[in-house]
């Protein structure tokens, strides 16, 4: 059964079909292609409709680098029609795409229950003649060809969302993609170059397409390191959102295992938050990935194990040690009696007093050890209970909040690994 959205694409010419999202930038090297890819990959694990998780179409329009094409399907140009060939030859009705679902790489794992990811590859950089041919196509025809190509692929592959990765800078085909898109994303860094182009780049697009609406452009500033500088600039320009430099958020000096994996997990969560922002108000809730799917089965197993963390060896040892408080209390009482009896009955041997004092001291130490063990045990149980109650979102909050929270999360993960399996 086809997903509800597998009709005509929306954007220019309709509002009922799958949303079209375009990613473009002022210059290269700002993370545009990575954001486009992760945006598409994450949507494939969204709930979808009628039991069908979303199929996503990725269109690689970036002839300068072919980033998506080489990363997802290095052999795609061999024997496959590229987007630039199909547009230059006006052969969009017979458009083809390649299934690259097997190349999807999400930190939380790649569940078998997911939608398919389809790729329309870009022409290789050396195919400059195709690039020139596209540039000679009248703007309105170029827009129609791109729209018709997407429409054909949407119907053929039951596509629920279309993501277009554009070449950096202004060009006719980037302008066409931005005009066609429901959500045109300008990706940049926290640099003057990006902020200076926030208003001028849309005006360049309007040189080709008057119907492009600059107000629909949404700016994402990627890899923000100095937040104060970003905030100062963001007050002056219409910035939609930002993604922090996650290598600064999670640093090697924290000594956490699999630091790179944690960084990518957090990076993907920031993208999910952006997906949520753009789709909640548009009534596209079925395209928003849920936190458990993003977190992945390994972390979700941790949360499941923490429900039985009282069975972990460490917690059980602390459970045994906590009884020392009662033994210690008994010794304190016995020691007090020994010392007191000697005071009342002077005929008793003199060693009663020092023996009583030593017994009281030993008892106090045991009591303190027992109370400490119980305090640590209750702290672990409370922390585990709070994390389980918070669920996947709670894990992400701890990843974001600071080094001490991430260390606590790491300790909980180690604890969960020691919980014995259910019989």
With a CB cutoff of 8 Å and minimum separation 6, the contacts of 144 are none
Boundary (domain end) residue, out of 269, 295, 321: 295
Q: Report the C-alpha gap between 244 and 48 in whole angstroms.
A: 29
| 152 and 278 inside one domain | yes
pLDDT tens-digit readout, 218-277: 999 999 988 888 998 888 888 999 999 998 888 888 888 888 889 999 999 999 999 999
Residue of 21, 26, 42 whose CA lies nearest to 222: 26
Residue range 366-377: average pLDDT? 94
Q: What pLDDT score was predicted for residue 81?
A: 83
pTM for this structure? Answer: 0.86
pLDDT tens-digit readout, 372-388: 999 999 999 999 999 99
Decide if 11 is inside a domain. Answer: no
| 188 and 284 inside one domain | yes
Decide if 13 is inside a domain. Answer: no
Residue range 160-169: average pLDDT? 94
218-224: strand order across its sheet: 98-99, 117-120, 55-60, 159-165, 20-25, 183-189, 218-224, 239-244
Q: What pLDDT score was predicted for residue 17?
A: 83
Q: In CATH, what number is assigned to the domain containing residue 222? A: 3.40.50.300
| 278 and 359 inside one domain | no
> For residue 350, is pLDDT > 80?
no
Could you tell me if 40 and 71 are in contact, meaning their C-beta atoms sit under 8 angstroms apart? no
Q: Report the C-alpha gap between 213 and 203 in whole angstroms.
A: 9
End-to-end Cα spacing for the chain: 40
| 32 and 133 inside one domain | yes
Give the residue numbers spanning the domain of 276. Answer: 20-295
Decide if 365 is inside a domain. Answer: yes
Boundary (domain end) residue, out of 244, 264, 295: 295
Q: What pLDDT score was predicted for residue 51?
A: 84
Tokens of 400: 């974001």
Lowest mean per-residue pLDDT among 127-131, 195-199, 345-349, 352-356 = 345-349
Q: Report the C-alpha gap between 107 and 102 in whole angstroms.
A: 14
pLDDT tens-digit readout, 167-182: 898 988 899 999 999 9
| 174 and 272 inside one domain | yes
Total domains in the chain come to 2
| 210 and 119 inside one domain | yes
> For residue 1, is pLDDT > 50?
no
> For residue 200, is pLDDT > 70?
yes
Decide if 53 is inside a domain. Answer: yes
Q: Which residue has the tokens 């196509």?
A: 137
């Amino acid at each position: 059964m086809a997903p509800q959205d597998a009709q005509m694409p929306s954007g220019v010419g309709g509002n009922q079909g799958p949303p079209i999202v375009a990613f473009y930038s002022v210059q290269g090297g700002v993370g545009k292609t990575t954001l486009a890819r992760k945006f598409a990959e994450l949507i494939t694990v969204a709930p979808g409709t009628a039991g069908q998780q979303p199929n996503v179409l990725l269109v690689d329009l970036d002839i300068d680098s072919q980033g998506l094409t080489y990363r997802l399907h290095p052999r795609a140009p061999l024997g496959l029609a590229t987007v630039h060939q199909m547009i230059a030859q006006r052969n969009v009705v017979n458009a083809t795409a390649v299934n690259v679902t097997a190349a999807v790489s999400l930190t939380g794992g790649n569940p078998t229950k997911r939608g398919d990811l389809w790729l329309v590859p870009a022409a290789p950089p050396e195919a400059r003649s195709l690039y020139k041919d596209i540039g000679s196509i009248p703007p309105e025809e170029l827009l129609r060809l791109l729209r018709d190509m997407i429409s054909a692929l949407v119907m053929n592959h039951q596509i629920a969302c279309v993501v277009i990765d554009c070449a950096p800078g202004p060009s006719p085909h980037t302008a066409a993609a931005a005009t066609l898109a429901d959500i045109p994303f300008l990706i940049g860094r926290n640099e003057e170059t990006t902020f200076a182009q926030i208003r001028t780049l849309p005006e360049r697009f309007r040189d080709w397409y008057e119907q492009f609406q600059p107000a629909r452009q949404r700016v994402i500033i990627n890899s923000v390191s100095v937040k104060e500088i970003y905030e100062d600039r963001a007050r002056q320009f219409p910035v939609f959102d930002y993604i922090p430099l996650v290598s600064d958020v999670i640093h090697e000096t924290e000594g956490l295992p699999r630091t790179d994996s944690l960084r990518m997990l957090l990076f993907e969560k920031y993208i999910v938050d952006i997906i949520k922002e753009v789709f909640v108000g548009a009534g596209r809730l079925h395209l928003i990935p849920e936190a458990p799917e993003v977190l992945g089965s390994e972390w979700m197993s941790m949360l499941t194990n923490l429900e039985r963390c009282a069975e972990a060896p460490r917690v059980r040892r602390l459970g045994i040690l906590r009884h020392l408080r009662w033994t210690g209390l008994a010794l304190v009482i016995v020691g007090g009696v020994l010392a007191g009896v000697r005071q009342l009955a002077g005929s008793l041997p003199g060693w009663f007093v020092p023996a009583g004092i030593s017994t009281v001291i030993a008892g106090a130490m045991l009591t303190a050890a027992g109370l400490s063990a119980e305090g640590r045990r209750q702290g672990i149980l409370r922390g585990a209970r709070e994390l389980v109650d918070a669920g996947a979102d709670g894990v992400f909050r701890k990843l974001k909040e600071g080094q001490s929270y991430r260390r606590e999360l790491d300790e909980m993960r180690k604890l969960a690994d020691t919980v014995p399996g259910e019989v």
